[in-house]
Amino acid sequence: MKTIAIANHKGGCAKTTVALNIAVTLANTGSRVLAVDLDPQGNLSASLGIDLEELEDSRHTSHRLMLDERGDFSTYTANVRPRLDVLPSCLDDDAEALLDGQAVSRELLLKQKLAPANAGYDYCVVDTPPSLRVPTLNALAMSDLTIVPIETSAFALHGLTQLLRKVAKVRKAHSPDMMVMALSSIYTARQNLDKTVRAKIIERFTEDFVFQTTIPRAISVGEATATLRSVIEANSESAPAFAYRKLVTEIREVLGDEESRQEATRRQSR
Ligand SMILES: Nc1ncnc2c1ncn2[C@@H]1O[C@H](COP(=O)(O)OP(=O)(O)OP(=O)(O)O)[C@@H](O)[C@H]1O
Ligand SMILES: [Mg+2]
């Protein structure tokens, strides 16, 4: 199982949209996917059809799994599409406080709990909250590829140094082979500010570590979000849907997953 973490503590840069569309596309193209929602806002969970009120009662959430020493991860997941399961999240202040208070190896809780998932999934796609606290550190500590979505605004690059410093620290301690790549996640090629920000991203990450695919800014994405669906499902012929499919091809290449792609194609055609 390869883990793809989506992280940027800047709010609203399309982390959840990226996680959702990547997870759905990977599953649609034959891979077995575990989507993990680490954000108590629960946006990824809701987009995948989880009832957040029911979840608040059952508390079968990613945060509770991390705190459950004995529990099996599979009792916390739900199947939401063919080949796509979700480990969901919802508001739970107590769980957040308990996670913050864990004294030992608190960055490794998720990795340890999901170790038995390795054989059953090809990919784990993790959506993180807009913060650099324990849940995000857990995502980074098990990540093979960390995607940093960057939208275009005057403040898009603020805080990036802080994020990259944190990523480097976790990589050194827990996942030395982790790759970190930036993605222009809401982008209009014709606009000067977008081009300027993208040039700065390339300067910061170097060309090899910026996805060539850019995700166009488009109303269809917001419309899909409003109906709690991925744009891949809501409007599969739209420009962002094409871009997300292209992005997933790039991700498979970056992760050197030609073999797993062929296996996925075989599975899809069965
Ligand atoms: N390509 C796009 N074009 C237009 N709007 C987009 C695009 N991608 C995402 N959005 C919109 O931007 C908003 C923020 O997206 P999203 O919720 O994915 O960000 P986020 O980084 O997960 O936010 P948070 O930090 O609160 O978790 C949403 O309303 C979403 O519909
Ligand atoms: Mg989000």
120 lines ligand 1 (CB under 6 A): no
Which residue lies with its CA nearest to atom 13 of ligand 1?
Answer: 12
Structural element, H or E, at residue 181: strand 179-186
221 lines ligand 1 (CB under 6 A): yes
Which residue lies with its CA nearest to atom 28 of ligand 1?
Answer: 222
Helices 239-254, 219-226: inter-axial angle, 10-degree rounding? 90
Of the candidates 137, 52, 140, 150, the residue with the CA atom closest to the CA atom of residue 102? 137
Contacts of residues 250-259 at CB distance under 8 Å and 24 or more positions apart, as own/partner, are 250/211, 250/212, 250/213, 251/4, 251/22, 251/145, 254/145, 254/179, 254/181, 255/2, 255/144, 255/145, 257/2, 257/122
List per-residue pLDDT tens for the chain, 270 residues long: 999 999 999 999 999 999 999 999 999 999 999 999 999 999 999 999 999 999 999 999 999 999 999 999 999 999 999 999 999 999 999 999 999 998 888 999 999 999 999 999 999 999 999 999 999 999 999 999 999 999 988 788 888 999 999 999 999 999 999 999 999 999 998 999 999 999 999 999 999 999 999 999 999 999 998 998 999 999 999 999 999 999 999 999 999 976 666 676 667 666
The DSSP letter of residue 17 is: H
16 lines ligand 1 (CB under 6 A): yes
Atom of ligand 1 nearest to the CA of 13: 21
Are the C-beta atoms of residues 87 and 77 closer than 8 Å to each other? yes
* Residue 73 CA to ligand 1 centre (angstroms): 28
Q: Where are the alpha helices (DSSP H) in the chain?
A: 15-28, 43-47, 52-58, 62-67, 93-101, 109-114, 134-141, 160-174, 192-205, 219-226, 231-234, 239-254, 258-269
Other Cβ atoms closer than 10 A to 118:
11
Domains and CATH numbers, the chain: 2-258 (3.40.50.300)
